[in-house]
Structures are given as C-alpha cells and as structure tokens.
Structure 1
C-alpha cells in the first residue's frame, strides 16, 4: 500500500542540494516531478547542503528534524562523497552514517540509504569506503540504492565545467534511476503503517 500524499526528505550534500544547477534542476525537484506522475500530492524537500561531510550532516540532522512541521514518510540519506574526497577516515564516516541511521530510526522515519563509491583511481584505499553503505544498510535493515551516481559518473557530457559535479541531464538520470527504489520504500513504509 503506497503512502498517501508522501513527504520525502532528501538529506545530503551538493549532489542533493543541486550545486551549480538551476533550482528546478536539483535532485529533489526532479524526483518530486517524477513521483507526482503517480502521486500528485508528493513532496520532496531539499535538505542538501553543498560541502557537507558525514560529520557536518550528523551535526545538523537533529536540528533539521526538530524543525520539520511534518514527519517524513521517507528520508533519502545521501552522504559520504566529500569524506573520501577530503581524505577523511572511513571509520569516522561509518560512525557518522551509523549515528544518523539511528537518529532517523528513533524518529520513526524510514530511510533509503543512497550508496556512494570512491573513485577507482584510489585503488585499494577505496575498499573501506565502498563497504560502508552496504554494511550499514544490512545492519540497520534499510533499503540500499547501491550508487547514487549510477549511470552518470565518469561521463564528461554529464558533468559541470568543474569536472566533478553532475549537470542537469545527469541529475535527471539519477532521479529516473532511483525512482523505483523510492516508490518501493514508500510502499513498504505504507504497509508498516497500516499493519
């Protein structure tokens, strides 16, 4: 049973916030548009902050949740890219994401965990980062979207001039690919609420 009038919180970094993009091209807006094709009252709130690491995301999450007027039916947790770009300790990344998943669970908010993968050029150093999201999804029993940038990473035509951030076409593809996962997570949330 799908959630009626679903409210989705998109919590992440610049990939969620829409760095370098027009407001209407940001991931939450694109996802909301796709959801509304089936559920006209769907709302996706942009809670992305460019530059966020898992440490800064963990710090701001309780304040954000306490300020919401409505409890989300689903949160998409998309953080971790800036951690490996800045060379932060993967153990700290794991601790921070773990703590955020606990915070969401304590607030009664289901989560879809959006995975992130370190660039292949990091070689063996990528492995500790790449294990974090799958491990935590299994530990907390939350659905995992394996790689937020699936289908777009490494494609120059889908990147802004900085060579790092996805452009509008890339974000549209990200939203299209993650949509079925979001809809399944919302259906599972609705089934749990009805039980």
Structure 2
C-alpha cells in the first residue's frame, strides 16, 4: 500500500488474509472485544497537564500490535509533539481487529462525555482486508465523523487504500472513501497512513503490515505536521 497502489504489501502472495487475521483483522490474544472491558477503549481521561488532548481512535496500527505500548504511534506522537514544545496528551484508543463498525459502536464510550482538542481516526484496514462492503465502511466512517462534527471536534483522518489483491472494482469503491469524507467533513487528511513504511526494510514486522518501532517513528515523522496543523489555534 505504497506509492499510491502498493497498499499494505502482503509479502509473498500468501500474506493477504492470513496476516490480517493474525494482526489487523483479529483481536490481540487476551484482548477483550467489549469496550467496557478494554483498557484502550475506556473513556478518554482528562489530561492533567495543560496542553491539547488528542484521542487516537483506530485499530492495531494505533494500538501497537506486536510492539510495546510506549512504542506505539500515540505514545511516540505525544513524545514528538512535546519535543516540539506542544505539551500534548495523546490517549491511545486503538483496538486490534477493529473495523469501522466497531469504531462507530464505541466512539461515544471512548470520548466518555469529554471533548478532546483533536481526534485521529485510523479505521478501515480491517474492513478492506476482510473484503467487507466499501459502502458500509464509508457509512460507518461518515457516522463517526458526523458525531465528531456535532461536538465540534476537529479530526485527522489517517487514510487507507485497497491492497492490489482486492481487485480493481473493490479499489474503485474503497480508495475514494477517505478523501471524499475528509472533504465533506472538513477533516485533515493523511492520504495513506502507512506510506512511509511499506516495502521498507526494518520498518514492518514479519507480517508486512504492522510497523516496527522504527516504522512507528517514520510514521510519526510523516504525519506530525498534519496533526500540528489540525490542532485548534491558541
């Protein structure tokens, strides 16, 4: 899933669905499906330090599949923002295996009645890898964005594109979802969240999907500018 069509490189042909079910497309071992029982999907706590509060809602790309929580994207983004003088708190609301439907089902619980300064959304990869309906994925993401619009919470949409093995017809329906919804909801857009790591040695785990710690750093470097620009001014 790199260079606008090398999406989620599946490695040697066999990777496609099996890798998904081992990572993005399946809950981590020991992880609970229930939002109420899942630590990462608990209501976003009000940050103690003064500074912007960011909630990262998504699947295993945010949850930190295969690496430790301090190495996951939300933690490293928080560190990078603070290194640049932005005293941000980033709540990791990533759940491995989540689809867009799962994200829609838990968005209200995840926010917990709070109003963060920014929400990052990385959902849709599992829908695509499972071959779920692009139309339903679009509707689910639209529902999440509508809820955030109603609360006047700005969003960064971390985009996804269809893997080549999904076929041209699927890609034609799936790929426009993110730019279309970003335009509709006035959300900031990262066109392809994993563009900086796909096909690069040392940047992905053996499944050729999830980032290594070095891959996470590359993803943070590639996206931090968009995140900073999306934060409310002042």
**Fold-level match, TM-score > 0.5?**
yes
Preserved CA contact (<8 Å) 2:198 2:208: no
Distance 1:21 1:67 in 2: 30
Counterpart of 1:66? 112
* Secondary structure of 2:228's aligned partner: helix
Counterpart of 2:33? none
Q: Tell me, which stretches of 5 or more residues in structure 1 are unaligned? A: none
* Secondary structure of 1:76's aligned partner: strand
Instruction: Pick the structure with more helix per residue.
Output: 1
Distance 2:82 2:177 in 1: 32
Distance 1:100 1:65 in 2: 12
Q: Tell me, which stretches of 5 or more residues in structure 2 are unaligned? A: 1-49
Match of 2:233 among 169, 190, 194: 190
Distance 2:190 2:55 in 1: 15
Kindly report structure 1 stretches of 4+ aligned residues shifted beyond 2 Å. Answer: 38-41, 120-123, 154-157, 161-164
Counterpart of 1:81? 125
The farther-off stretch of 72-81 and 118-127 is: 118-127
Question: How much has 1:38 moved relative to structure 2?
Answer: 2.2
Match of 1:93 among 137, 160, 169: 137
Q: Are residue 181 (structure 1) and residue 221 (structure 2) matched? A: no
* TM-score, normalised with respect to structure 2: 0.75
* CA root-mean-square deviation: 1.5
Distance 2:86 2:176 in 1: 37
Match of 2:71 among 8, 14, 25: 25
- Post-superposition Cα deviations, 1:97-127, rounded to whole Å, max 9, x if no partner, equal 0000011111221101111111123330222
